[in-house]
Amino acid sequence: MADKIQALAELLTPVVLEAGVTLYDIELVREGGERILRLYIDKPEAQGVDLEDCERVSHAAEAVLDAKDPIPGAYALEVSSPGIERKLSRDEHFARYIGHDIALRLYAPVEHRKNFRGKLTAYENKTITLETAPDKTMAFEREAVALCRLAVFDE
């Protein structure tokens, strides 16, 4: 699946950039028996993505996807902003949000729990370093993390 996502990113990145935004992430999922291709687009933090951006990218991406047909069978295309509590899934996401609060969920418990929240202080060699308390720092291997998001709101 990672190869398919990478190929889609290579195909769609120029289209998204031409529309004046960046490609933040791609998902190809099955929900309710339907396959969905989700493109998450972004702009510099001060601007944000609006409906016109999503429509512009949707029309441009549809044209390329119809011409190249990289996904066999039927699927729905969705284009949106990654949102304020966006998922961190790529190396560049972690690097970009060092110094921000994040929430992460592990596949297996550490210290009898799976959920952690704190300030992302470093990301090196696929290791996420999180300040979970004023005098406590924890490191998590990225492959042990099931989900990681920006934590803007209190849980």
84-125 pLDDT tens trace: 899 999 999 999 999 999 999 999 999 999 999 999 999 999
Tokens read off for 89? 């899934």
SS3 of the chain: helix, strand, coil, percent, to 5: 30, 45, 30
The reply to whether the predicted model has a pTM over 0.75 is: yes
H or E element, residue 99: none
Phi, psi of 115 (to 5 degrees): -105, 130
Helices (H), 19-150: 51-68, 91-96
For residue 46, the model assigns a pLDDT of 60
- Please say if the pLDDT value at position 143 is more than 60: yes
Angstrom distances, CA of residue 133 to CA of 119, 121, 147, 150? 9, 12, 20, 17
